């Protein structure tokens, strides 16, 4: 019964604020259904803000994006995975980011069959040790490239692993150096391409990494990657775009010594007034928020009492006479001091704001300021 509200103007404002911090072009990262905010709606909003490059997660997401944005440049950040993915690249002008020689070989075949040049982005491994071509792979890759006339090198890209970590400066600079060395290898062999390294945190804090294209993701949706650190002011311009509400189903008294919810793991220390809220782990409101989470109503914080159930949670409403059945409380967001931020909820859960957005965003969404 959770209701997700996405403020598209905030996403647009976040993008415009980020654009003011760089001379590089912006590739808006809208993977994973735009971090739970809605792929198509978010992309249209960002296109209206002037964005011309988009990073989708999969080829399938890129195809959905192409339906609503016929003229922008769309990158599939994971590249082709399934056999049918390869067939969609050329007809729908999707640029794959590839990380393996097997992908490379299959793309050669696709380009030969289509008879049209196929632009490709190469993902380089510079320090995250996840996906990508390593520096020692480049001579062999260059040999393959020389025998692949149907492929065009559109971009070299890599991903920073510690740009948002206090004390991560040395690692950022190490990765930048490796990336520039790899780029030099290609340039010395006559290749012309764009370079992309900076994520949200690097866009805000490491201008030397901006290069040709920056790839903001979480910052577009209003999360400050430096919240709580000495760099917090770098992201003060960002505003959370997602708010999530749930209905009050019942309000009643809980006597001192009585417990509530499964296992009676909360016992009232005094006479209390509690509200039963229509949300639970079936709505992606995590059971781990039992006895540690908070909700928000008209300027007041409401602690979660006892275990979060499948579709119900209980909060302390002792001091809120106006909280009655039919009212809505904020599970995420709210107006004014005390609002629940995705970063704060992530802290209660021992995770990151990305997961909070992606999970809660799977509930029914509405949009405003579109």
Which are the catalytic amino acids? 31, 262
Beta strands in 206-271 (DSSP E): 213-214, 242-254, 259-260, 266-267
176-204 core/surface letters (b: 16 or more CB in 10 A; e: else): bebbbebbebbeeeeeebbbbbbbbbbbb
DSSP secondary structure code for residue 127 in this structure: S
- Give me the helix-helix angle, 353-360 and 342-349, nearest 10°: 100
Chain centroid offset of residue 284 CA: 17
206-191-194 Cα angle (round to 5): 30
Euclidean distance between CA atoms 273 and 260, whole angstroms: 12
Using alpha carbons, list the distances in angstroms from residue 269 to 254, 305, 350: 10, 12, 27
Residue 101 contacts residue 144 (beta carbons within 8 Å)? yes
Cα-Cα-Cα-Cα dihedral sign, residues 124, 36, 213, 234: negative
Strand 272-277 relative to strand 242-254, pairing: antiparallel
Euclidean distance between CA atoms 225 and 213, whole angstroms: 19
């Amino acid at each position: 019964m959770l209701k997700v509200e996405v403020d598209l103007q905030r996403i647009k404002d976040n993008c415009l604020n980020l654009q003011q911090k760089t001379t590089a072009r912006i590739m808006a990262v809208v993977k994973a259904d735009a971090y739970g905010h809605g792929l198509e709606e978010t992309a249209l909003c960002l296109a209206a803000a002037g964005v011309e490059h988009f990073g989708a997660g999969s080829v399938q997401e890129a195809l959905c994006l192409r339906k609503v944005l016929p003229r922008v440049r769309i990158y599939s950040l994971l590249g082709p995975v399934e056999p049918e993915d390869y067939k969609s690249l050329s007809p729908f002008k999707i640029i794959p980011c590839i990380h393996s020689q097997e992908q490379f070989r299959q793309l050669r075949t696709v380009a030969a069959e289509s008879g049209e040049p196929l632009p490709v982005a190469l993902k380089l491994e510079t320090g995250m040790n996840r996906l990508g071509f390593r520096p020692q792979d480049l001579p062999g890759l260059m040999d393959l490239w020389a025998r692949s006339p149907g492929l065009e090198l559109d971009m070299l890209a890599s991903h920073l692993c510690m740009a948002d970590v206090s004390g991560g400066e040395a690692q950022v600079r190490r990765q930048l150096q490796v990336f520039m060395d790899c780029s030099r290898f290609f340039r010395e062999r006559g290749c012309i391409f764009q370079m992309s390294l900076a994520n949200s945190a690097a866009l805000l804090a490491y201008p030397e990494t901006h290069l040709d294209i920056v790839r903001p993701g979480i910052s577009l949706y209003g999360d400050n990657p430096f919240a709580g650190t000495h760099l917090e002011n770098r992201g003060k311009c960002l505003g959370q775009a997602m708010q999530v509400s749930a209905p009050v189903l019942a309000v009643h008294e809980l006597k001192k010594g009585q417990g509530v919810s499964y296992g009676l793991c909360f016992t009232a220390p005094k006479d209390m007034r509690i509200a039963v809220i229509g949300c639970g782990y079936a709505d992606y409101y995590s059971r781990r928020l039992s006895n540690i989470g908070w909700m928000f109503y008209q300027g007041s914080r409401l602690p979660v009492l006892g275990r979060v159930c499948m579709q119900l949670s209980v909060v302390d409403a002792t001091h809120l006479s106006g909280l009655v059945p039919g009212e809505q409380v904020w599970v995420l967001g709210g107006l004014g001091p005390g609002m629940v931020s995705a970063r704060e909820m992530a802290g209660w859960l021992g995770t990151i704001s990305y997961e909070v957005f992606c999970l809660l965003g799977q509930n029914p969404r509405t949009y405003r300021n579109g």
